[in-house]
C-alpha cells in the first residue's frame, strides 16, 4: 500500500499509476488523502483485474471548473510486453473508493 498525504501536485499527467505490465503482477493499493491538485490529468490509475484499490479523501482540485481532472482511472493489467487497456474511470464500491460529493472539493 502506498500512502500519499499532505501533498501538492501541479502540471502532472498522473500522480500515481500502478504498474500495468510489470514482470510480476501483484495487487496494489493506494490511499490518497489531504492533497491539492492543479493542472493534473489523473490522480490515480489502477488495474482492476488484479484487485488494485485506490481510496480517496479530502482531495482539493484547483482551477478546474469543468471537472476534467480524473480522480481514478481503471485499467486491465496485462503481461510484460503488452500495453494495459483503459476500461473506465470514476468511483465504484470495489476498486475506486470515494464519494464525489464529499471526498472531492472543486475549488
**Coil/strand/helix, residue 93:** coil
Q: What is the pLDDT of residue 79?
A: 93
Q: What is the pLDDT of residue 25?
A: 87
DSSP of 39-77, one letter per residue?
EEEEEEEEEGGGT-EEEEEEEEEES-TT--SEEEEEEE-
Quick one: cell of 95? 476498486
Quick one: cell of 53? 484499490
Could you list the pLDDT tens digit for every one of the 107 residues in the chain? 999 999 999 999 999 999 999 998 899 999 999 999 999 999 999 999 999 999 999 999 999 999 999 999 999 999 999 999 999 999 999 999 999 999 999 99
Residue 85 belongs to domain spanning: 2-106
Helix (H) or strand (E) holding 9: strand 2-17
* Total number of domains in the chain: 1
CATH number for the domain that contains residue 23: 2.160.20.10
Amino acid at each position: 500500500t502506498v500512502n500519499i498525504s499532505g501533498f501538492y501536485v501541479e502540471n502532472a499527467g498522473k500522480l500515481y499509476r500502478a504498474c500495468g505490465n510489470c514482470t510480476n503482477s501483484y495487487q496494489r493499493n493506494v490511499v490518497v488523502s489531504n492533497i491539492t491538485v492543479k493542472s493534473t490529468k489523473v490522480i490515480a490509475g489502477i488495474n482492476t483485474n488484479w484487485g488494485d484499490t485506490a481510496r480517496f479523501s479530502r482531495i482539493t482540485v484547483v482551477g478546474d471548473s469543468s471537472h476534467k481532472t480524473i480522480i481514478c482511472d481503471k485499467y486491465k493489467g496485462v503481461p510484460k510486453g503488452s500495453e494495459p487497456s483503459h476500461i473506465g474511470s470514476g468511483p465504484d464500491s470495489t476498486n475506486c473508493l470515494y464519494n464525489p460529493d464529499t471526498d472531492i472539493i472543486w475549488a
